[in-house]
Structure 1
Amino acid sequence: MNIQRSHSTWAALAAMLFLWSCSGAPEDGLAQTIALFKDTPEYSIVLEDMKQDGNFVKTPYHQYRVYFLQDLPGEEPKFRTHETGWIQVSEETFKKYEGALGMTIAMKTSKGEESTTPQPTGYQYVGNPQYGQWRTNSSGDSFWEFYGKYAFISSVFDVFESPFKRKYYNNYHNNYYKNRVPYYGRNKQYGTAGSYTRKTKPNFYQRAQTREARSKTKFRDKVAKRTYGRSVTRSSTSTTSKSRSSSSRTSRSRMSSSRSRSFSSGGK
C-alpha cells in the first residue's frame, strides 16, 4: 500500500487547507489543523518547519506535513499525506514545540487515542497488530517488523533503528508515551537539537545561522557608531577647550602688555 493523494474527497479537503493557510487566520494553526482531521480514523501531524517573521513584533509560523488514514465506504483504507503552507500559530504553541522540529506533535491512533506530546514520527504505528508484529531473532531479541503492505512506513518516516528492538520501544511507551513526556530518542537524536534532524533539515539551520550572522553584524555596526560618536564628541570638546584656553591666554597676555605700557608711561 502506498501513500496516495488523488481522490475527490481529499481534493476538497486539500483545497480547504490551502485556502485557510493562505488566509492569515489569527487563530492557532495547530488547533485548526487538528480540527480538520479529527474525523479521520488516524493521523499524525509532523512539524516540518518553523519561523518568526517581523522586524519589531515577531509573528510565529509553523509548517506541517500531515499523514492520515482515509477510510471510505467500499474502499480499502489508504494513507494520504498533505503539506501545509506557512500557518500562523500562537506564541504558546510556538514555544511549546520550539524543540520538536521534525517530530510528530499531534496524533490520533487507530484506537482513538489522541496526544499532543512530541515523539519521533511513525512511532505510533509500532506495537499495533494492524500494521506489523513482534518477531524474535536468533539472539533471542524481540524486534518489530511491519507487514509487507505497510513496509513503506519505515521508509517514509526513516527514523526507526534497525532492528527496532522491543526493549527500546517498551522504554518509550511505558516511560514517555503513557506519562505524556516528550521523547527525543535514546540518544536525543530527534527534535530541534538532535543530530538526525540537523542532517535532514539543513535549511532550517542555515536560516538560523544567517539570522545570527545578521544580528552580530547589526550589533557591531551599532557599537561602531556609538564608539565613533563618542570619539567625535571627545575630539570636539577637546578642540573647543583648547581653543578657549588659547583665547584666554592671548587675552591675559594683551591685558598684561597694556598695563605694562600704562605703568611705563606714567613713570615718565
Structure 2
Amino acid sequence: MNSTAKLVLGIIVLFFIVKTCGSCDSTSTRQQSSSSQVAKTWRKSPVDDLIKQLNDEPNFSIILFDMDANESGNDYKHQYQILIQKPDTVLEKKTDWKKVDEAFFSQHINDMGMEIASKKDGKVTKQAVPAGYNHYVGNEKYGRWENHGGSSFWAFYGQYAFMSSMFNMMTYRRSYWDDYNRGGYYGGSRGYYGPRGSSPVYGTKSFTSSTSGNKSTWANKPNTFKDRVRNKVSRSSNQSSRFSSTRSKSSSTVNKRTSRSSSRYKSSRTIRSRSGGFGK
C-alpha cells in the first residue's frame, strides 16, 4: 500500500475512533444523569431517622401505631410507637405525627399495628411482622405458652400483662408464631400477615376492625374515605412500578449499546494496529 492510501486509511480510522468515543461519552452522560435523577427521587423516611436516633440501643421495635391522610389525598402522616428493651424493663413512647411521602404510605398501608422496623442483638431489620413477635412472644423472660381448648397461646407474665393491650392483640396463637419462624420470615423482606392461603390475621384490617376496640385516627375514618385513599396510593404505586420497569429496560438498552460501541472501539484499535504494520 502506498503512503497516500495509508494516510487515507489512517484518517478514516481516526474519525471512527473520535465518533465512537463521543458516543461513549454521551452514553456515560445519560447514565450519570439517570443515576442523578434516581438519587434525587430517593427520600429518607421518618423510620430511617428513628433508627439513627436509636443507634445506641441494641434492641428496639418501631410499630406503625396510627396513620392519616387529608381529604384531597396528597398529605400523608404516620405515628409510631417505640419500644426499647432494657435489662429489667421495657420503655414505651409514641412519636408525634410524622409526614411521609405517598410511596412510603403505600408501602405500609396494610401494616398498621405491626412492627415495621426493629433492632435485635444489634441487627436492624425493616420488615412488617406482628408486634411482639421478634422480641417478646416466645421469650420465656416475658411469658409462656399455655394450652386452652386444645390450642396453645402465649400468655405474658403479670408484670408484662400490659403488653397484650399495648400491642392491641389479645391472643397470640402458637401455630401462627411457629408458621412465622418455620417460614424463614425473620430478617427477610416479606411481611407476615398470617398463614398462607388465609385472610390476613394481622395488619391494618385486623387492627382497625370493629371488634378490635381500636380508637385510632385511621380506624375512625369512614370506609369510603379509606378506600379512596387506598385506591389512590395503589394507582400511584403501580405507575411508579411501571416507570421503574421502563427505566430499567431503557438502562439495559443503553448498556447493550455501550457494549456494542466498546466492541467497535476495540475493533478500530485492532485495525489501527494492523495499518501501522504496513510498509514494514
TM-score by length of 1: 0.55
Shift in CA distance, 214/180, structure 1 to aligned 2, threshold 3 Å:
closer
The SS at the match of 1:198 is coil
TM-score by length of 2: 0.53
Number of positions where the alignment pairs a residue of Structure 1 with one of Structure 2 = 179
Moved more, 123-132 or 80-89: 123-132
Structure 1 residue 49 corresponds to structure 2 residue 66: yes
Aligned to 2:132: 122
Aligned to 2:154: 144
Structure 1 residue 89 corresponds to structure 2 residue 105: no
Shift of 1:62: 1.1
Shift in CA distance, 212/169, structure 1 to aligned 2, threshold 3 Å:
closer
Shift in CA distance, 134/113, structure 1 to aligned 2, threshold 3 Å:
farther
**Whose radius of gyration is greater, 1 or 2?**
1
Aligned to 2:194: 185
Shift in CA distance, 176/94, structure 1 to aligned 2, threshold 3 Å:
farther
Moved more, 124-133 or 78-87: 124-133
Identity over aligned pairs, percent: 32
Distance in 1 (alpha carbons) for counterparts of 2:219 and 2:153: 34
Distance in 2 (alpha carbons) for counterparts of 1:168 and 1:116: 20
Give ranges in structure 1 of 5+ residues lacking alignment.
Answer: 1-25, 72-76, 216-268
The SS at the match of 1:207 is coil
Tell me if structure 2 keeps the 8 A contact 1:48–1:63.
Answer: yes
Shift of 1:97: 0.6
Shift of 1:204: 1.4
Shift of 1:98: 1.3
Distance in 1 (alpha carbons) for counterparts of 2:226 and 2:139: 44
Distance in 1 (alpha carbons) for counterparts of 2:133 and 2:57: 18
Shift in CA distance, 89/48, structure 1 to aligned 2, threshold 3 Å:
same
If asked which structure has higher relative contact order (CA below 8 Å, sep 6+), I would say: 2
Give ranges in structure 2 of 5+ residues lacking alignment.
Answer: 1-42, 230-280
Shift in CA distance, 213/119, structure 1 to aligned 2, threshold 3 Å:
closer
Distance in 2 (alpha carbons) for counterparts of 1:138 and 1:189: 20
Shift in CA distance, 43/100, structure 1 to aligned 2, threshold 3 Å:
same
1:145-190 deviation line (CA, Å, top 9, x unaligned): 43343333223223142xx443331102222633442122354132
1:34-71 deviation line (CA, Å, top 9, x unaligned): 2222322322111122233485x823321111121245
Aligned to 1:173: 181
RMSD: 3.4
The letter for the 2-side match of 1:177 is: Y
Tell me if structure 2 keeps the 8 A contact 1:176–1:183.
Answer: no
Tell me if structure 2 keeps the 8 A contact 1:70–1:78.
Answer: yes
Tell me if structure 2 keeps the 8 A contact 1:63–1:86.
Answer: yes
Distance in 1 (alpha carbons) for counterparts of 2:152 and 2:201: 23
Pick from 156, 159, 162: which aligns with 2:169?
Answer: 159
Shift in CA distance, 60/190, structure 1 to aligned 2, threshold 3 Å:
same
Tell me if structure 1 keeps the 8 A contact 2:113–2:167.
Answer: no
The letter for the 1-side match of 2:190 is: V
Aligned to 2:122: 112
Tell me if structure 2 keeps the 8 A contact 1:27–1:90.
Answer: no
Shift in CA distance, 206/160, structure 1 to aligned 2, threshold 3 Å:
closer
